[in-house]
């Protein structure tokens, strides 16, 4: 009987932990919207690169211009010299449409998240560096550490949210003739449209690397538990909603 009472008490103590609020609905929605947009941008961006796998610096760039760097892959256009005797199917039409639509969806999602983060205190409570937390990016976190961001994670998220994403958006807009005609300095500062394209690609690669590391760290901390928490908003640790 005593053992049964102890088990019931233990269950009662664990139940609140298993049902503790973890992520607010707006955080979950913007997280998965961002994930879908990034996936669409990655797939369409790869197709766009295949159409011309050469990158330049300056205002102009074409097959007669020395490339800053290039990828030794077949192109989807016969006019691009790649060293291959064949071309890939041209998917440049739908990939550009998808890329633009996903980019604007990402921008709108980001605006919603930024407004929420600033006015709710989400950034201040969960992302600003906390001197009491350790920086342990390569060690397996304990249960309590897994439900809060360590110093390395906070700094990384701040860089991604406030540096990488804005730069990706800026360099993307700098390749738009309509945007550049309205704000010429947006591309002039970057060194030209081809410089904007090259920077856009390098920044995108940085974001892809971040996503890969992010998924790997979630896996180490408990992939199934954290994914369920991001879907349902409930976690296994006592934590105030983000």
Going along the chain from its start, the domains and CATH numbers come out as: 23-235 (1.20.950.20)
pLDDT at residue 197 greater than cutoff 80 = yes
- Provide the pLDDT confidence category of residue 121 given band limits of 50, 70 and 90: confident
**Which distant-in-sequence residues (6+ apart) come within 8 Å of 203 by Cβ?**
164, 167, 168, 171
Output the average pLDDT for the chain.
83
User: Which position has the higher pLDDT, 139 or 153?
Assistant: 153
State the average pLDDT over residues 119-128: 85
Question: Is pLDDT at 163 greater than 50 in this prediction?
Answer: yes
């Amino acid at each position: 009987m005593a053992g049964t009472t102890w088990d019931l008490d233990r269950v009662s103590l664990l139940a609140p932990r298993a049902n503790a609020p973890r992520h607010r609905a707006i955080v979950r929605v913007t997280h998965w919207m961002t994930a879908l947009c990034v996936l669409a941008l990655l797939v369409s961006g790869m197709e766009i690169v295949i159409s011309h796998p050469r990158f330049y610096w300056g205002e102009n760039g074409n097959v007669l211009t020395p490339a800053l760097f290039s990828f030794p892959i077949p192109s989807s256009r016969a006019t691009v010299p790649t060293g291959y005797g064949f071309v890939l199917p041209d998917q440049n039409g739908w990939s550009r449409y998808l890329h633009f639509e996903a980019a604007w969806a990402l921008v709108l999602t980001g605006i919603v998240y930024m407004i929420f983060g600033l006015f709710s205190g989400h950034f201040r409570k969960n992302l600003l560096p906390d001197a009491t937390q350790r920086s342990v990016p390569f060690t397996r976190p304990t249960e309590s550490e897994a439900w809060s961001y360590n110093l390395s994670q906070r700094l990384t998220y701040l860089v991604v949210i406030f540096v990488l994403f804005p730069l990706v958006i800026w360099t993307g807009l700098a390749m738009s003739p309509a945007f550049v005609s309205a704000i010429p300095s947006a591309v002039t500062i970057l060194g030209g449209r081809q410089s904007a394209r090259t920077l856009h690609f390098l920044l995108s690669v940085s974001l892809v690397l971040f996503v890969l590391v992010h998924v790997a760290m979630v896996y180490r901390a408990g992939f199934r538990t954290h994914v369920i928490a991001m879907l349902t908003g409930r976690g296994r640790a006592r934590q105030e909603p983000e």
